[in-house]
Each structure stands twice: as C-alpha cells, then as structure tokens.
Chains A and B, each alone.
Chain A
Amino acid sequence: MMENDIFKALADPTRRMIFEKLASGSMNASSLRDGVEISQPAMSQHLAILCNAKLVRQERSGRFVNYEVDPDGLAMIANWLAKYRAYWPARIDALKDLLKDMDQ
C-alpha cells in the first residue's frame, strides 16, 4: 500500500530531513550529506527507501545522478512545505504589527 510506504519512509527523521532538503531543489547524494553525519551507504539506503515510496526520484545527467522530489508522487507535500515556509514569516510580521497597535 503506497500510503504505508510513504508513512514509513517519512517516519524516519533522517529521511524527513533529506526529503525536506530536496523540497527546495534537486541535489546529488554528496550535497545531501553536507552538514549531516551520515555515511555514504546509509545515505544511499535512505534515498532508496524514499525512491521506493515514490517520494523522491533519480535524475541522471551524464555521469551524475541527482535526486529530486518525485513530481508524480508526493509533490503535494513539497508544495505544502514551500508554501508554509513562506507563509509563517509573513504571518509573524503581521503579528508584530498587531502587537505594536495593541500598545496604544
């Protein structure tokens, strides 16, 4: 069942981190490892699980392999994340304006 695969794939904090990084743009496996303490085989395994759940797909260009959020899979999660990443800073700015008004 695909939904269970998605759930399991995203139940792991490292895979959620990978997925969220890819939600901002495609990346190769070594860029994905930047700033994260994770071995190459472990990263490959996480990426394989994300690919199997159709959350992420491989994109080959010549010798290079990039990973990206699968547009046919759960791009909706990526869209959601992108939307609310921009949404909250704008809402908090509005809250700050309101707090200033409430002072009067």
Chain B
Amino acid sequence: MSKRQTDARASTPVIDDEETVGMVLEYELEAPPEKIWRALTIQEYRERWLPGSDLAVVEPMAEVTGEQICFRMRDSDPPHLESVVTFQLTPQGNGGTVLRVTHRLIDSRLVSPMPGAANSNEPVLMQAA
C-alpha cells in the first residue's frame, strides 16, 4: 500500500470564465474513478462525506455516468444561498483520479433574469452537464 501523500493538488479557489461567482478546486485522489463514483452516487456512502443536509436536493441534478455529477446545494446559514456543485473525475495514469470540484452560486437573488449581460458571449443557461 502506497504511503504517498494524497493532498490537494491546488486547494486555492480560482476563477474561470463562467458567469457566476464560485470556486474551482482540484484534488488528486489515490483511488480509481469507479470507486470515487460509488462514493459520489451511492447515497449511504455520499452521506458519510457530503451530508444531504448540505444539499438542496439529495438527488443529483445531472450526471454523466462515471465522469461527472451535479448537485444543487443550499447554504444552511442565512441567507441560504443556492448553488450548484459539479464533481468531475479524470483518471490518472498512476491509477489515481483527479477530482475537480466546481461550486457556483446560482441564487436567483444574484443571477439576473436578463437575457444576457452586454459582455456575455454565452447563453445564460446553467451548464447541463
């Protein structure tokens, strides 16, 4: 059994080109994607690290089997902002997996119902995985 450290590759939030505020974090995990997929999708396993009380809906919003899955989240603290978290799995050559966590606010109080901002070159639709 390898004793190699499995810490985050980059645990600092970064910004990308999507429309709303949030964070993207990447972790290198010493487990194959199939195993992490089970930890994400089997409710009993998921509850042990991502409790349903932190989710707005315990059923995933969307998924691509074995690759990515989205959940809607609701902050338990006021003002209970709603967000979407997407987990993406990328297999690594060493048998491990990079888990990418993309977490964005989608709260209607923050996202304008306008058909698009002046400098937006993308549709306003949320990602549909």
Query: C-beta contact mask, A29-60 vs B, less than 8 Å → 1, else 0?
Result: 00000000000000000000000000000000
B residues less than 8 Å from A80 (CB atoms):
21, 75, 81, 83, 105
A77 to B120 alpha-carbon distance, docked (Å): 21
Q: Which residue of B lies closest to A14 (CB)?
A: B15
CB under 8 Å from chain B, chain A span 6-22: 6-8, 10-13, 16-17, 19-20
Contacts of A96 in B (CB 8 A): 6, 29
Complex contacts, B112 vs chain A, CB 8 Å? 3-4, 7-8
Q: Which chain B positions have C-beta within 8 A of A77?
A: 21, 81, 105, 110
Contact B119 A81 (CB under 8 A): no
Hey, which chain A residues are within 8 Å of B110, CB to CB? 3, 6-7, 10, 74, 77
* Contact indicator B48/A98 (Cβ below 8 Å): yes
Q: Is A88 an interface residue (CB 8 A)?
A: yes
B83 partner residues in chain A, CB cutoff 8 A:
80, 84
Q: Does B117 contact A (CB under 8 A)?
A: yes
* Docked pose: A62 CA to B36 CA in angstroms: 54
Among A84, A85, A98, point to the contact of B45 (Cβ < 8 A). A98
Interface size of A as a range: 20 to 34
> Are the CB atoms of B29 and A88 closer together than 8 Å?
no
A81: chain B residues within 8 A (beta carbon): 13, 21, 23
- Structural contact, A99 and B31, CB atoms closer than 8 A: yes
Partner of A91, one of B23, B38, B50, B114: B50
The interface of chain B, by Cβ under 8 A from chain A, is: 6, 8, 11, 13, 15-17, 19-21, 23, 25, 27, 29-31, 35-36, 38-39, 45, 48-50, 75, 77, 79, 81, 83, 99, 101, 103, 105, 109-112, 114, 117-120
Known: A77-B110, A91-B50. 14 other contacts (CB 8 A): A3-B109, A3-B112, A11-B119, A20-B21, A80-B21, A84-B103, A89-B11, A92-B99, A95-B39, A95-B99, A96-B29, A102-B35, A102-B39, A102-B45
